[in-house]
Structure 1
Amino acid sequence: MAAISNLFANGADGDFMVLDEAIELTCQSLLAYWSRHSRHAVAWSGGKDSTALLTVLIHLIDTGRLPQPDVLHVFYADTRQELPPIQQAAEAVMARLRQRNWIKVHVVRAPIDKRFLVYILGRGVPPPNNNTLRWCTRQIKVEPMAEALVAALAAIDDTALMLTGVRQGESAIRDDRIVMSCSKDGAECGQGWYQQVLPEAKGIRGRIATLAPILHWRVCHVWDWIGRVSYAPGYGEWPVSIMADAYGGDDAADIAARTGCIGCPLTEKDTALEIVSSMARWTHLSALLELKPLYRWMREPAQRLRKSGVERLKSGAIAKNPQRMGPLTLEARAEALVRILDIQRRAGVDLIDAEEEARIRELIAARTFPDKWDGDEPRADVWLDSVYSDGSTQPILFRELVGS
């Protein structure tokens, strides 16, 4: 009988790749591009993939396999919406990072008026959805990160290499994007996903290249590193084991769950939160399961306003979506604030801090609404004459039956 090479290699004969081989490919990917740039940075979300990237990168530098840069910029995207195990692990990792004088940690947050719950409750913008209003990732992650990059690179003339924890197999949409663009900017197979075209931010266009050096890792590699190797002596002893709770505890590698914001409105099911809140040490988080139904309630017509007649653009043309639903009513926002404050009190978390609560109340008191809305529009569940895209109107039949 032929010998089995190993259970985790991915070579030409169809076997799977072991972690050491995956790390070696990562090292080769980094070495291929490291010296092309005078500045180096890591985009870190606090999740398992970007944490694996960050800690294996520092291990490679510590062991001399990768040159130590003068400064390594680590940009942590603090959305204020992370699951507590992930947030706690991130804070512990940041404490360790700050012990190294060649690492500069940037905690990146959106401006207060654009933070997730301030934007919803203070300005009245409905919770995001996957169809017409997916504003959250761009506003609380991408744009703040781009602005932090601009600030960090303002004083240099050279280019920087931004490392990301993107992995193939984590998202079908992302995989399609990788396949379509993997050959950009002279990238070669096996050297990661290297691009010089991102991000599209004013002031840094053409000065940032991105590289995904763990693109080839599978979820078993990520958990082998995070759950076993990374906190062993000689590998950094990183305090990240608590992170496994957010992905399924002892079964994290098998479950292969993905995490997002607490109560994420863009998902059908809050799998990670359900897993965490079922564990003895995190049962107090079960109150957070009430957030998703609350976000759905906030998107209902009874909690929102609607344009009542023909809406004209600045050009004079008629808007294509007459009688569109719009922002949350002031009453719905005030009620949602009370409910979220109660949820976070029972869960023992801090979704809305004192500064944000004060700002939300200030914006509600000032009758703040999104652009092109003044708050005097009818509620969206009120029956109105139909208005069509050409500006014509169809009156309500049997108006007396609908109370108009």
Structure 2
Amino acid sequence: MCAAQLDIFAGGSRRLQMTESIELTIQSLQAYGPDHDHWGVAWSGGKDSSATLTLLVYLIEAGKIPRPKTFSVFYADTRQELPPLAAAAGQIIDDLATRSIDVHIVRAPLDKRFMVYILGRGVPPPNNNTLRWCTRQIKIDPMEEALRRRLDRLPGGILMITGVRQGESAIRDRRIEMSCGKDGAECGQGWYQQVLPNARGLRGRIATLAPLLHWRVCHVWEWLKHWAPAAEFGDWSTTAIADAYGGAEAEEINARTGCVGCPLAEKEKALETILLNPRWSYLAPLKGLKPLWRELREPRHRLRKPGVERLKDGSIAKNPQRMGPLTFEARLMALDRVLTIQGDCNEVARREGRPLVDLINAEEEARICALIAAETWPQGWDGDEPTADTPLDAVFRDGTVQPRLIVE
């Protein structure tokens, strides 16, 4: 090795520059891409996957990497995205359409969408302890189903390109070339894996590649804010994505984006950052979502199993008197609150020509009302259980009952 040549694996070497990171990305795609005729991109609309998607298309169009026989984009539309990211995704989808790139809008079935599941079926909002149902239901499962449908129309398999990113440590620990341990190599922070995790029934037909694994976060911002919007690199509508994360201060803020009003996040850091931008200040009513989800978990809004609950095999349930679904009154109250928040945002949006907020669309609202009118309860609940704030005799796991000491 020449003394002047950069050794990216050497301890204490200088940080990778933007052009060097892009060159390593090109190397990874040149190394693994030609082994697959069909490529796909798993795109969430967030910073890493958006940088991956736009860079990949640029590299193909510029002839820097081989063009696959087919190229598909799978956009995970959870219906819960932050409005600036949803708006940017819509613009990028339009840009992809002008390039004749196949885009699959991946959504959960109507009855399993976040708002319908809670307000229509009465399932309580998710939490980090006992009921974290949202990610798999509105994102992972729909993506797996979309991949199955795609594979049904393809011979062989597909290379799924993701925006997974772990920084320069993935370069310096010499693990770039390593694949998943399930494929006979060390399990580590590899660029390339021959099995897509969590894709039940798809083993052997999907490989994954994370060509931005080594990128520093500042390079992601640089690409989204300055490089990708330039005509030379594709004229992409990515500036709004960087702005949604904090604009020039995005790296320092380091806001994690997710669902708007996410019940699992401790703070609304991303939304608070967005509201500092005058263009998006009209979204302030969205701050009312998180308190609503917290309120719906209160006993007064839910039913409770009243006594000893026996399972189908005759055994006693481990969590007797557990709290359960939302009452119809709570669902209607919450539906009204969400629609009011949406309406307050959109009143200003229409007046100022801003993007509209779409928390609940007409189809979802109709389905929520239909499920309530049909007196729908989650499986295992009849609706005749008492509300969870009703005083009851205590029931223990062994089935013994301790009567209330004070009876009103």
Question: Is the TM-score greater than 0.5?
Answer: yes
1:31 matched residue in structure 2: 30
Report which stretch shifted further, 374-383 or 189-198.
189-198
Q: Deviations over 1:316-357 (max 9, x none)?
A: 111111111111111100100001000011112110001100
2:352 matched residue in structure 1: none
Distance 1:394 1:191, change over 3 A: closer
The answer (yes or no) to whether the contact 1:327–1:370 under 8 Å persists in 2 is yes
Following superposition, the deviation at residue 389 of structure 1 comes to 0.8
Following superposition, the deviation at residue 189 of structure 1 comes to 11
Q: Deviations over 1:2-48 (max 9, x none)?
A: xxx99xx8854332111111111111222222122221100000000
Q: Deviations over 1:278-321 (max 9, x none)?
A: 22111110000010000000011111111011111111111111
2:171 matched residue in structure 1: none
Q: Does 1:361 align with 2:369?
A: yes
Following superposition, the deviation at residue 202 of structure 1 comes to 4.9
* Percentage of matched positions with identical amino acids: 62
Q: Does 1:391 align with 2:399?
A: yes
Following superposition, the deviation at residue 184 of structure 1 comes to 4.9
Distance 1:223 1:160, change over 3 A: same
The answer (yes or no) to whether the contact 2:34–2:68 under 8 Å persists in 1 is no
CA distance in 1 between counterparts of 2:371 and 2:31 reads 50
Q: TM-score, length-normalised on structure 1?
A: 0.90
Q: Deviations over 1:245-279 (max 9, x none)?
A: 21112211221211000000010100111111222
Residue 35 of structure 1 aligns to a residue whose secondary structure is: helix
Following superposition, the deviation at residue 199 of structure 1 comes to 4.2
The count of aligned residue pairs is 386
Q: Deviations over 1:195-250 (max 9, x none)?
A: 22324445523211112111111210100111111111221111110112211122
CA distance in 2 between counterparts of 1:183 and 1:22 reads 26
CA distance in 1 between counterparts of 2:39 and 2:15 reads 31
CA distance in 2 between counterparts of 1:187 and 1:242 reads 40
2:245 matched residue in structure 1: 247
CA distance in 2 between counterparts of 1:191 and 1:116 reads 32
Amino acid at match of 1:54: L
2:390 matched residue in structure 1: 382
Amino acid at match of 1:97: L
Consecutive unaligned residues in structure 1, runs of 5 or more: 171-177
> What is the correspondence of 1:211-360 to structure 2 with a 5 Å cutoff?
211-348=209-346, 349-360=357-368
The alignment yields a C-alpha RMSD, in angstroms, of 2.4
Consecutive unaligned residues in structure 2, runs of 5 or more: 169-175, 347-356
Residue 161 of structure 1 aligns to a residue whose secondary structure is: strand
Distance 1:352 1:11, change over 3 A: farther
CA distance in 2 between counterparts of 1:324 and 1:199 reads 33
1:173 matched residue in structure 2: none
The answer (yes or no) to whether the contact 2:261–2:290 under 8 Å persists in 1 is yes
Q: Does 1:14 align with 2:21?
A: no
CA distance in 2 between counterparts of 1:191 and 1:20 reads 22
1:174 matched residue in structure 2: none
CA distance in 1 between counterparts of 2:186 and 2:386 reads 57
> What is the correspondence of 1:28-177 to structure 2 with a 5 Å cutoff?
28-101=27-100, 103-168=101-166
Residue 128 of structure 1 aligns to a residue whose secondary structure is: coil
The answer (yes or no) to whether the contact 2:179–2:192 under 8 Å persists in 1 is no
Distance 1:79 1:92, change over 3 A: same
The answer (yes or no) to whether the contact 1:263–1:292 under 8 Å persists in 2 is yes
Amino acid at match of 1:319: A
2:351 matched residue in structure 1: none
CA distance in 1 between counterparts of 2:189 and 2:274 reads 36
Q: TM-score, length-normalised on structure 2?
A: 0.90
The answer (yes or no) to whether the contact 1:310–1:391 under 8 Å persists in 2 is yes
Distance 1:322 1:30, change over 3 A: same
